[in-house]
């Protein structure tokens, strides 16, 4: 059996190494490292986790265990316009689920997936604190308040041309 190879671009490798170094390569800083890394790459693919594990001198199984434990970390690239639907209780009682269903229907993807053209991805999050605007939808950093299922199409239209 030959040894396992991890393929990665040199530039990316150095980026990850730098991030790890900025946290003194301490295994205890794993979550901070993952945050920074995901910020850089948009997601945490296997090879990135391999490098992080190596740099922090910990097992990649543990890294994977942490990545999959926290919902903030993702191993799939997000869409160009990540759509997050707040499914906090306030939004729920004001009909967030119907809004979510409508997004799913229109985009033909499930939560956690990205459209084939890479444009939109769908996720749920818990309470963004804009309960006065419930139900709330985020597209990237932009917040849409008091969204109804009928309004979904309109929101998507805004981004379709971009």
Partner 1 sequence: MTKYKTHLLVCGGTGCRASASDDIVENLKQELENKGLQDEVQVVMTGCFGFCEKGPIVKVSPDNTFYTQVKPEDVTEIIEEHIIKGRQVTRLLYKDPKKKETVADSKHMDFYKKQIRIALRNCGFIDPENLDEYIARDGYMALGKCLSEMSPKDVVDQIKESGLRGRGGGGFPTGLKWEIAAKNEADQKYVVCNADEGDPGAFMDRSILEGDPHAVLEAMAICAYSMGATKGLIYIRAEYPLAIKRLIIAIDQAREYGLLGKEILGTDFEFDIELRYGAGAFVCGEETSLIHSMEGLRGEPTIKPPYPAEKGYLGKPTNVNNVETYANIPIIINKGANWFNKIGTEKAKGTKVFALAGKINNVGLIEVPMGTTLREVIFEIGGGIKDGKKFKAVQTGGPSGGCLTEKHLDTPIDFDNLIAVGSMMGSGGMIVMDEDDCMVSMAKFYLEFTVEESCGKCSPCRIGNKRLHEVLEKITGGKGEMEDIQRLRNMSNVIKDTSLCGLGQTSPNPILSTLDNFYDEYLDHINDKKCHAGQCKDLMTYFVIEENCVGCTACARVCPVGAIAGEKKQSHFIDPSICIKCGACEERCKFDAIIVK
Partner 2 sequence: MNKVKLTIDDKQIEVEQGTTIYKAAKELGIEIPTLCYMNLEGLNIENKPGGCRICVVEVEGRNNLAPSCSTNVWDGMVVNTHSMRVINARRTVMEFILSDHPKDCLTCPKSGSCELQDMATKLGIREIPGQEYAEMSTYKTDFSPSIIRDLDKCIMCRRCEMMCNEFQTVGALSAFHRGFESAVGPAFEMDLEHSSCTYCGQCVAVCPTGALTEKDHTRDVINALSDPTKKVIVQTAPAVRAALGEEFGMEAGTLVTGKMVSALRRLGFDYVFDTDFAADLTIMEEGTELLDRITKYLGGDKEVKLPMLTSCCPAWVSFFEHHFPEMKDIPSTARSPQQMFGSIAKTYFADKISTKREDLIVVSIMPCLAKKYEAQRDEFKVDDNPDVDFSISTRELAHLIKEANLDLNILPDEDFDKPLGESSGAGVIFGTTGGVIEAAVRTAYELHTGKKLEKLDFEQLRGFEAIRKATVDFDGTPINIGIAHGLGNARKLLEEIKEGKSEFHAIEIMSCPGGCIGGGGQPLHHSDSSILKARSEAIYREDAGKPIRKSHENPYIIKLYEEFLGKPMSEKAHHLLHTAYFDKSKKIEMS
Which residues of this protein are in contact with partner 1, per CB under 8 A? Answer: 26-32, 34-35, 62, 65-66, 69-73, 87-90, 92-94, 125-134, 136, 143, 145
SS3 130: coil
139 binds, among partner 1, partner 2, none (CB under 5 to 8 A by kind): none
* 87 or 135: CB nearest partner 2: 87
Output phi, psi for 81, to 5 deg.
-120, 90
Nearest CA to 133 out of 143, 141, 124, 118 is that of 143
* 44 or 109: CB nearest partner 1: 44
* 52 is a site residue for partner 2 (CB under 8 A): no
d(CA 160, CA 115) in angstroms, rounded, equals: 12
* 110 is a site residue for partner 2 (CB under 8 A): no
* 63 is a site residue for partner 2 (CB under 8 A): yes
103 within 8 A of 150, measured Cβ to Cβ: no
The stretch near partner 2 (CB under 8 A) out of 44-52, 77-85, 86-94, 100-108 is: 44-52
In angstroms, the Cα distances linking 155 to 12, 65, 84, 113, 159 are 34, 36, 12, 18, 7
Q: How far is the CB of 117 from partner 2 (least distance, A)?
A: 25
């Amino acid at each position: 059996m030959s040894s396992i190879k991890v393929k990665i671009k040199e530039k990316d490798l150095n980026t990850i190494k730098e991030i790890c170094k900025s946290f003194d390569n301490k295994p205890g800083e794993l979550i901070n490292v993952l945050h920074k890394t995901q910020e850089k790459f948009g997601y945490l693919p296997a090879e990135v986790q391999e490098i992080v594990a190596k740099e922090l001198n910990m097992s990649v199984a543990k890294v994977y265990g942490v990545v999959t434990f926290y919902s903030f970390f993702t191993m799939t690239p997000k869409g160009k316009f990540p759509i997050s639907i707040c499914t906090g209780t306030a939004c729920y009682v004001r009909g967030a689920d119907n809004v979510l269903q409508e997004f799913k229907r229109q985009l033909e993807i499930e939560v956690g997936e990205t459209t084939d053209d890479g444009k939109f991805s769908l996720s749920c999050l818990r309470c963004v604190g804009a309960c006065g605007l419930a139900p709330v939808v985020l597209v990237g950093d932009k917040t849409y308040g008091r969204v109804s299922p009928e309004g979904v199409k309109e929101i998507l239209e805004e981004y379709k041309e971009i």
